[in-house]
Amino acid sequence: MSRIGKKPVDLPSGVTASVSGQTIEVKGPKGAQTFTATDDVTLTVEDNLVKVEPRGKSKRARQQWGMSRTMVANLVQGVTQGFKKELEIQGVGYRAQMQGNTLKLNLGYSHDVDYVAPEGVTITAPKQTEIVVEGADAQAVGEVAAKIRDWRRPEPYKGKGIRYKGEFIFRKEGKKK
């Protein structure tokens, strides 16, 4: 039995959910999100609760049960609070700034890196060494943060690069004479 799948997803006030077939649409103050579940699970909405039940005892049905419940919970969190990833930039001369919808990164390359924020995701740079990625879709926020981090991953010798806030980088010792 899936411990995650057994728990119903509570819909807070101001959030509505509707199921049509295998697709659930959740609407809230930050917009609307949809998720299409596989045929291995059944989605039902009753009394401000979204319940996910497996349609059999197969291994795949049990796998999809917990995953589908988590996806529905992420939809609800996305339309109410949203998701947020914070990045830190470390390194001499490394900095970030927003110009309209474009994030300009100065990361030690011969050119500046320009990253245009996709629709549904907002990027802000409160300081030159901080980047905040926010949005209603957890997958999109994580993907944008990962793409920004990929421009200059933190290296283990000096720790320079773009890292997630609170991320620990295992440091290595340099060469010895």
Domain span at residue 40 reads: 3-80
In a domain? residue 15: yes
CA–CA separation, 8 and 131 (whole Å): 35
Decide if pLDDT at 1 tops 70.
no
How much is the pLDDT for 176?
86
In a domain? residue 16: yes
Q: Is 62 left (phi over 0), alpha (psi -120 to 50) or beta?
A: alpha
User: Model confidence over 126-166: pLDDT tens digits?
Assistant: 999 999 999 999 999 999 999 999 999 999 999 899 999 99
- Residues 33, 8, single domain; the answer is yes
Residue 46 three-state SS: strand
CA–CA separation, 80 and 78 (whole Å): 6
Into how many domains does the chain fold?
2
Residue type, 151: W
Decide if pLDDT at 2 tops 80.
no
In a domain? residue 169: no
How much is the pLDDT for 45?
93
- Residues 101, 74, single domain; the answer is no
How much is the pLDDT for 80?
93
Summarize the confidence of residues 55-71 as an average pLDDT. Answer: 92
User: Model confidence over 5-28: pLDDT tens digits?
Assistant: 889 999 999 999 999 999 999 999
The pTM assigned to this predicted structure is: 0.86
- Residues 12, 69, single domain; the answer is yes
